[in-house]
Structure 1
Amino acid sequence: MNAWNPALYRSWFVVAESRRLKSEPLGVTLLDRPLVLARLQSGELLALDDCCPHRHAPLSAGRVTPAGLQCGYHGWTFGVDGRCTALPGLPAHACKPVVRVGSVSAMEYDGLIWVKPEALGSAGSQDLPEFLRRLPTGSRRFTWSTTWKAHAVDALENFLDPLHTHFVHPGLVRGDGNRQIVSATITRSAGVLQVDYRGQPQQGGWLYRLFESPRELERAHFTAGAAGSAQLEYRYQDGSALYFTIHFSPISDALTQVHGTLHVENRWAPEWAVRTLAWPFLRRVARQDQEVVEAQAANKTRFRRDAGVSTELDLVRPSLDEVWALPSGPLTAQSQRVDIML
């Protein structure tokens, strides 16, 4: 088992797309903890440790019944709070033993299933960061999922870092030969990181040429309340906006589940057009990011390295480490502006 920062257990993580959870239970792993998800006949969402306390069979191999999630070995059944609700074979007059399975908070939002590893408690979208809650209703164009062989923090940094795009995505996103001075304003307060980039209304890559228009702002979001989630927000001079959100949920320190969404606001972009025209380019970008982050992870293991050398150009890594590293504290409140060649 790996030592995770205890603060992460109070954070929400995406563990599956809602459409994956049907009539059968679904096994997932978060922060090295095997869990089982199930949608009960009452409509409630259940998230328990994937281990029956009787003979330790996986509950994900069981089935949903009117009484709850039933183990496939001896039929012991459990409710949302993890308490045993039925014990087949026990006479009606017999006293049922007080048995329960570890439970965690779970909810569904934006087509995704979210889990907070902390003990079962209240769950609602109001617990999520504001940058996720404000996504316009009906604006989601697609959801995709994959798994990267890398640590979640390195994957998060890759997504939020614009300075790798010239080399990992040459021609698609940016190129090293046409850099411009861009103003970056970094704001950190109350567990929230926001970076605003201004001064680059146009990019030279094919993604911009084919699908975008002059930008007003590029903004990066991250917060400790959903420590695996990050968003790139693009606001355009014509009043439209795009929101790329990626959720990095650690299965282990070397394996990360990745869920991404694209939301579009005030812009012609029907789902069929995004999937047919834009997704092939976006998929290529995602694969390039996966390749470089997995190569990074393999090389860190090969050389037994952890932290790297950082400079003032590494705008987001200090905030990520404050949330994910051991020991850690809340994000340091500060605001600063730097100029970078982007």
Structure 2
Amino acid sequence: MNAWPSKRLQGWFVVAQSGQVRAKPWPVMLMGQPVVLARLPSGGLTALEDRCPHRQYPLSAGRITEAGLQCGYHGWTFGADGRCTRQPGLPEGRCPPAVGVPTVDVMEHDGLIWLRSRHADAPLLAPAPLPDFIRSRPAGTLRFMQRMQWQGDALDALENFMDPLHTHLTHPGLVRRDGGRRAVTATPSWDEHGMTVTYEGGEEQNGLLYRLFESPRLLERAHHGVAAPGSACIEYRYRNGSALFFTLHFTPLEAWKTLVHASLHVEGRWAPAWAVRLFAWPFLRRVARQDQEAVERQARNRQRFRPRHDASTELDIVSTYLRGIWHEQPVPAVTASPVQPIVLML
């Protein structure tokens, strides 16, 4: 993506883990915009454009003081609202200059730091709360979190995560086997807040991950919310009452460069964090690397042959929705009429 959509992408994107931002300013990137995160002495966070308006020096090369974020060049200091609070060298009693640094909306949730993107060419919208599939996970159910960076398109990476049809060939034998497909019913629904696809009929999988770590399922669901356009969750519910929630957050840093944060929540099942890291994570990391390789190959080929339009069929329901949301195109009103389930061979 070389031109960022202006309206739909005024949503929340993950840019860092909470533990990364401590005593020093932390530089991040969101859609080509350099931003500095600073944890103030009060414990709260502020996010500013990563530049001092005095001489355009990066604020991320400064330090945090009681008065705010201090530029490392001449010492101009900026508070949580971006206004200059101190200019060293001014005579006693003189007020700091009436200048400031543009702020970016920031919040913390589930051990992650979220920024809300802004675009000068579109009206600023009131920030919406995070989607329910993110807000509803109790903190005590978090088992692990990982950070990666892919050299690919964030939208392609998001579609890859939500699309089950690639798993047979991209993760052969690990997630599914191509020779063991079975009929599964997919029921999609969406409204102005997001999308859910419910998969039924796939109670058991033929891949190694299922045999090692899972039990018979009740259903599988994929979730996406417009308020966090780069985030999606795959939910697995089991007959024994337990549930797993894999959530991935894809943040476009620049064109063809995507930051990925992955987390796993476990409910109603014995799965301490140490056991997940020791036994499950090596397999999950292999899956992530296979997906990364696929998305990066796709990105390189898109650049070779652009502009080309993707061919789609009725099986590409997730892609149709996501590309409509990200590129502000019309999305079919599925909820306006009875939802027609789609039969997939998974």
TM range (shorter): over 0.9
Q: Equivalent residue for 2:78? A: 78
Match of 1:337 among 332, 338, 341: 341
CA 1:52–1:332 in 2, change beyond 3 Å: closer, same or farther? farther
Instruction: Report if the CA contact (8 A) 2:10-2:118 is conserved.
Output: yes
After TM superposition, where is structure 1 displaced by more than 6 Å over at least 4 residues in a row? 119-123
Structure-2-length-normalised TM-score: 0.94
Distance 1:331 1:115, change over 3 A: farther
Q: What CA RMSD, in Å, does the superposition of the two structures yield over aligned residues?
A: 1.8
Provide, for residues 82-104 of structure 1, a one-character-per-residue CA deviation record: whole Å limited to 9, x for no partner.
Answer: 11111111112324221010101
How big is the shift at 1:331?
A: 7.2
Q: Deviation per CA, 1:195-244, whole angstroms, max 9, x where unpaired?
A: 00000100011100000000001000001100000000000010000000
Give 2:181's aligned residue: 179
User: Relative to structure 1, is the Cα distance of residues 70 and 332 closer, same or farther in structure 2, using a 3 angstrom cutoff?
Assistant: farther
Contact 2:320 2:331 in 1 (8 A): no
Q: Is contact 2:9–2:229 with CA below 8 Å preserved after alignment? A: no
Is the deviation greater in 56-65 or in 301-310?
Answer: 301-310
Using the TM superposition, name which of 235-244 and 96-105 deviates more. 96-105
Q: Could you say which residue in structure 2 is the equivalent of 1:10?
A: 10
Matched, 1:328 2:332: no
Q: What SS does the corresponding residue of 2:157 show, helix, strand or coil?
A: helix
Structure 2 partner of 1:51: 51
Partner residue of 2:163? Answer: 161
How far apart are the structure 2 equivalents of 1:287 and 1:217? 26
Take 1:33 and 1:329, find their aligned partners in 2: how far apart are those partners?
28
State the Cα deviation string for residues 143-174 of structure 1 (Å, max 9, x = none): 00010011110000000000000000001000
Contact 1:190 1:330 in 2 (8 A): no
Structure 2 unmatched ranges of 5 or more: none
Three-state SS of the structure 2 residue aligned to 1:19 is: helix
1:44-91 Cα distance to aligned partner (Å, 9 max, x none): 101000011000000000000000000000001111111111111111
- State which of 232, 235, 245 in structure 2 corresponds to 1:233: 235
Counterpart residue number, 2:20: 20
Structure 1: distance between partners of 2:26 and 2:287? 29
CA distance in 2, matches of 1:86, 1:241: 52
Structure 1 window deviating more from structure 2 (200-209 vs 110-119): it is 110-119
Give the match's secondary structure for 2:210: helix
Task: Give aligned pairs, total.
Answer: 339
Structure 1 residues 97 and 329, CA, compared in 2 at 3 Å: closer, same or farther?
farther
- Any idea what SS the aligned residue of 1:317 has? helix
Specify which of 92, 114, 136 is matched with residue 134 of structure 1: 136
Structure 1: runs of 5 or more not aligned: none
Matched, 1:282 2:284: yes
- The 8 Å contact of residues 323 and 331 in structure 1, kept in 2 or not, is answered as no
8 Å contact kept, 2:10–2:125? no
Partner of 1:67: 67
Aligned to 2:340, the other structure's residue is in SS state strand
TM-score (norm 1): 0.95
The answer (yes or no) to whether the contact 1:191–1:330 under 8 Å persists in 2 is no
Residue 204 of structure 1 aligns with which residue? Answer: 206
How far, CA to CA, are the matches of 1:329 and 1:81 in structure 2? 37
Alignment of 1:34-45 (within 5 A): 34-45=34-45
What amino acid does structure 2 have at the position aligned with 1:160?
Answer: M
Give the Cα–Cα distance (whole angstroms) in 2 for the partners of residues 19 and 135 of structure 1: 19
- Kept after mapping to 1: 8 A contact 2:321/2:331: no
Deviation larger for 5-14 or 216-225? 5-14
Identity of aligned residues (%): 56
Aligned with 1:340: secondary structure?
strand
